[in-house]
Amino acid sequence: MVECDKVVKRDAFLKAIEVDDAPSAAEGLDLDSMAVDASYDGMRLEKEMTLEFIEDMIQRFKDGKKIHRKYVFQIIITVMDIVKKEPTMVEVTVEPDHEITVCGDTHGQFFDLMNIFKLAGKPSPKNSFLFNGDFVDRGSWSTEIALTLYAYKWLYPTSFFLNRGNHETDDMNRMYGFEGECRAKYNERVFKLFSESFSALPLATLIGDKYFVLHGGLFSDDKVTLDDVRKLNRFKQRQPGQSGLMMEMLWTDPQPAPGRGPSKRGVGLQFGPDVTKRFCETNGLEAIIRSHEVRMEGYEVEHDGRCITVFSAPHYCDSTGNKGAFIKIGPDYKLNFTKFEAVEHPDIKPMAYASNGMQGLI
**Cα dihedral angle (181, 187, 191, 192), rounded to 10 degrees?**
160
- What residues act catalytically? 167
Q: φ, ψ for residue 304 (rounded to 5)?
A: 60, 35
CA distance 362 to 348: 15
CA distance 239 to 135: 17
CA distance 149 to 113: 10
CA distance 9 to 22: 22
The 10 Å CB-count burial string (b at 16+, else e) for 251-270 is bbbbbeeeebeebeeebbbb
CA 304 to chain centre: 27
Beta strands in 89-245 (DSSP E): 89-92, 99-103, 127-132, 160-163, 204-207, 211-214
DSSP letter assigned to residue 357? T
CA quadruple 132, 145, 176, 324: dihedral sign: positive
Q: What are the residues facing 101 on neighbouring strands? A: 129, 328
- Measuring CA to CA, how many Å separate 260 from each of 212, 244, 254, 270, 290? 20, 16, 9, 5, 17
**Cα dihedral angle (51, 54, 58, 63), rounded to 10 degrees?**
100
